Amino acid sequence: MLRYSLYSTSNNQLTCALNNVSKKAGLTIPKGWVFENGTVIKIIGCGETSQVKMIHPKEVSNPARFVSLETVNQHFAENLQIPLDHGKIKYIVRHGHGHHNDPVSTMDQAHDGKLTKTGAEQAKNSGIAILDDAGGVLSNLEAYSSDLERTMETVKIIMDQIPIEQRVTTCKVCLEARENSRPIGGVHFWEKTDPNREIAIDPFLDVEKLRVLAPEKTDEQLARMKIENLPKNNPIDEPDKCIRNIDYLSIDWSDYVQKLEIAYAQGKTFGQAASEKLLFEILFEIE
């Protein structure tokens, strides 16, 4: 029986996950990969092995900036020596273009930026590509997003492209899918033991600590870098103000809240909690 799942995340987190796949599979870790908004990566469970493919877009809008489908699929051409149960198929999507991606947007627009009109169209095309890839049938589908609204909106628009009887009506917020602020040392790859990973993934840190990741940035640039990935939703301190629905799509914060409450009770920061498990480990169900 096929089991499908969808993860909506960011470019940095998607690249980080694929770089961890490369390391685990004994492949060269790619340098400089940037995925276009709306990119869809497919992971196929083959039992003792797995496959990774980019399925969308077929052609990127700016080949000088974005990694191509051909480049990704050539890199992951062979079956990977990473086990994943046969029949499990996972789609990882970079959210559509958001206001935070637009350099002329205001700080208010950039704060947990929502999708632009272009971003909504990209998410629509991602959904069409996923449904087409699955042959029109997405059985036993589950959906996950980060804690940022643009990833939730992307899930909802993707669901709009799926026959109503196959849609999920709940999107689970996944702590490990959240945006990373910046790559460490210029590379989208975080070792779990690197303390800078906690800084890269923690939007609640002050600007001074972000200088460790981006010492070349101005104060204004650092402030924007922080605000882009600072969630407006706070399901622990302000649960009543936290988004619960986007139209018919219910947003389930329970797992996210449980992980943070346990971490906070142990005196850990958000960054430490979000660093305990990699998105790569979530995708390949590695304990």
> pLDDT grade, residue 42 (50/70/90)?
very high
Average pLDDT over residues 73-88: 98
What are 188-244's pLDDT values in tens digits? 666 777 778 888 889 998 888 888 888 888 988 888 888 899 999 999 999 999 999
pLDDT recorded at residue 207: 83
Q: Report the phi/psi class of residue 172: left, alpha or beta, with left for phi > 0 and alpha for psi in -120 to 50.
A: beta
Host domain of residue 101: 3-283
Could you read off the pLDDT of 140-159 as tens digits, one per residue?
999 999 999 999 999 999 99
Q: What is the pTM of this model?
A: 0.96
Least confident of 45-49, 221-225, 250-254: 221-225
Mean pLDDT of 98-126: 94
Indicate the range of 84-93, 150-159, 174-183 predicted with least confidence. 174-183
Domain count, the chain: 1
What pLDDT is attached to residue 285?
Answer: 97
| HEC sequence for 230-280 | CCCCCCCCCHHHCCCEECCEEEECHHHHHHHHHHHHCCCCHHHHHHCCCHH
